[in-house]
Amino acid sequence: MRSQLFAFAAITALAFGSSSCIKKGKAKGVADNGQLMGASYGNVQGMSKPYGMVFVPPGTFHMGPSDEDINYNFTARNKQVSINGFWMDATEITNNEYRQFVWWVRDSLAAKELGYGKETDGNFAVDWKKAQTIKYNDKAVLEKISKLTLTPDNRLYGRNEIDPEKLQFRVESFNLKEAAKLENKGKPRSSFIIKYDEKIYPDTLVWMRDFSYSYNEPMAKRYFSHPSFGNYPVVGVNWKQAVAFCRWRTNYLNSYLERKKKVPESDFRLPTEAEWEYAARGGRTQSPYPWGGPYLRNKKGCLLANFKPGRGNYAEDGGFYTVRADAYWPNDYGLYNMAGNVAEWTNSLYYEGSYNFQHDMNPDIRWDAKDTDPPRMKRKVLRGGSWKDVGYYLQTSTRSYEYQDTAKSYIGFRCVIDLPANNPRR
């Protein structure tokens, strides 16, 4: 996907250059004097500040435990690294934000069944003006999109509804890391293109599956569907679904930028483990928590995050389960709930000794595990701790993991994006 965007950006540059900057062999505003004057984009602009995101400036920090941890030092020593600047979601992705993705997929699939659009080169271009008028409570409409609805034996009281299992997003990406390897030089571009369908509806049953002998049915039924939880972090989303969301968000943004004659931008993605820790620290390189530390309470005795402060004690911090994604005070970068609420997926493979061989510039270790790979290759790093965790997991340096195809009631995510250095910070 990323390589595709690079290629598209290059083609776009040529197109704009030929249409808006060059006229009859002369650069706009520049005399044809036989000198190398350069070819600019002209009036074409990139996007401004991404909505709902904050800028994390480039810098250096000590990655790893801020205090002495003998066992930790055997596998993950404190290490000074440098991180390039990036934009990060100020909050975890909320139910409302993820629902926009779900509804987009629903509407695009329904539009295809209804013929609202046209087929071009094997791709269906949706007519979104018509797609936005689809009435899902109309029996005639539901009959026409029966491929997307529940079969009669799966209905309660005869209600014909959209089947969440049939909401699948077509993920298309380009494996730039593999294409960059010398041994793969000369291979056709198609060798590195990845395409697959991903089910995107959250697994709402995690609220019951995660806790044995515990009554959590109301959360399973209402957490993702009731408006009261709209600004709470989405959960029940596995790593692969989080990646699919990032791919959709990238395509959604760049489609808009193309319509507005603006330059396409780089991909939304999950942060690397190092980026996440750097952002969580908020510039406090040797502090154990996003707010500094070393305590989990302020001077008034109030808890500073949503977690489990004691055995069987879930409510003292103000939230029994999750809380709003913008609850509690943000860290010095303006990021909310980098400790507690929900643990967050990162893009990094969990490997115990990765700190020992990662680069000291933008450290990153990835592995795009296939379904046939052994389980240990499917472990992805989790950071931040959650509403059901004890204080240890809230530390900015604490690592844990979960398998990429596993969803939990206490795991969410947030996105990052790399934008040019001259992007306005307002």
pLDDT tens readout for residues 391-413: 999 999 999 999 999 999 999 99
Average pLDDT of span 7-22? 44
Average pLDDT, the chain: 89
∠ CA 324-343-312, nearest 5°, is 80
As a whole number of angstroms, the distance between CA 345 and CA 404 comes to 9
Please give the structure tokens belonging to residue 79. Answer: 């290490």
* Residue 74 pLDDT level (bands cut at 50, 70, 90): low
pLDDT digits (tens, 9 = 90+) for 18-45: 444 444 444 455 567 888 888 776 666 7
Q: Alpha-carbon distance 119 to 123, whole Å?
A: 6
Q: Tell me the CATH architecture of domain 54-92+266-426.
A: Alpha-Beta Complex (3.90)
- Which residue shows structure tokens 């390589």? 3
In this structure, how many other beta carbons lie within 10 angstroms of the beta carbon of residue 105?
A: 21
pLDDT per residue as tens digits for the range 155-173: 999 999 999 999 999 999 9
> 161: buried, middle or exposed (CB in 10 Å: 19+, 13-18, 0-12)?
middle
Q: What is the pLDDT of residues 299-314, one digit of tens each?
A: 899 999 999 999 999 9
Measured CA to CA, the distance from residue 388 to residue 343 in angstroms comes to 10
pLDDT digit string (tens) for 220-246? 999 999 999 999 999 999 999 999 999
What are the boundaries of each domain within the chain? 1-44, 54-92+266-426
Q: Are 141 and 135 in contact (CB under 8 A)?
A: yes
- Cα–Cα distance, 304 to 320 (Å, whole number): 15
Is pLDDT at 154 greater than 60 in this prediction? yes
End-to-end CA distance of the chain: 29
For residue 119 the two structure tokens come to: 């087929």
pLDDT value, residue 423? 60
